[in-house]
Amino acid sequence: MQVPRNWRLQKQRYSLIGEVCEHCGVKLFPPRDVCPECSHGAQTLYQFTGMGNIHSFSQVFDPPNGHIENTPFIVALIQLEEGPMVTAQLTDIDIEHVEIGMEVEMVTRKMSDDGTEGMIIYGYKFRPPIVD
């Protein structure tokens, strides 16, 4: 079970792939295989557009290991245009320009690395769209 599980997590982390409930149409992120609205099975993969709005945000000064070079960074609660709420870092923006309600888009960036010899972990972050 471990290999498919990791594979699925990787897809989820790189490009916001979740699930859609074929019964009621609700989109799920992260994927959890059972629809929280109607309790039917929801295992059809769904690629989110990556567009969303900032619901709330704060700056992290005391980060977990592996994030030291990136500190301070901004973490936001983002409402995806399909509905789900995700927590993610913001990038390519300074804290004084962040506003609640502002439009953001998903990008894949380096999340952390395990020193100079370990693996580099990539995942989704959000930033203001290149074109307004």
- Which residues of the shown chain bind other proteins in the complex (CB under 8 A)? 10-11, 14-15, 47, 68-70, 91-92, 107-111, 120, 122, 125, 130-131
**Partner whose footprint covers residue 75, from Zn ion, other proteins, none (CB < 5 to 8 Å by kind):** none
Binding of residue 22 to Zn ion (CB under 5 A): no
Q: How many residues bind Zn ion (CB under 5 A)?
A: 7
Q: What are phi and psi of 3, to 5 degrees?
A: -65, -50
Q: What are phi and psi of 45, to 5 degrees?
A: -65, 145
- Contact criterion met (CB below 8 Å) for 78 and 104: yes
Q: Which of 8, 31, 5 is nearest to 18 (CA)?
A: 31
Binding of residue 28 to Zn ion (CB under 5 A): no
Tokens representing residue 7 in the block: 């594979």
Least CB distance from residue 121 to other proteins, whole Å? 11
Least CB distance from residue 63 to other proteins, whole Å? 13
**Partner whose footprint covers residue 47, from other proteins, Zn ion, none (CB < 5 to 8 Å by kind):** other proteins
DSSP structure class, residue 22? T
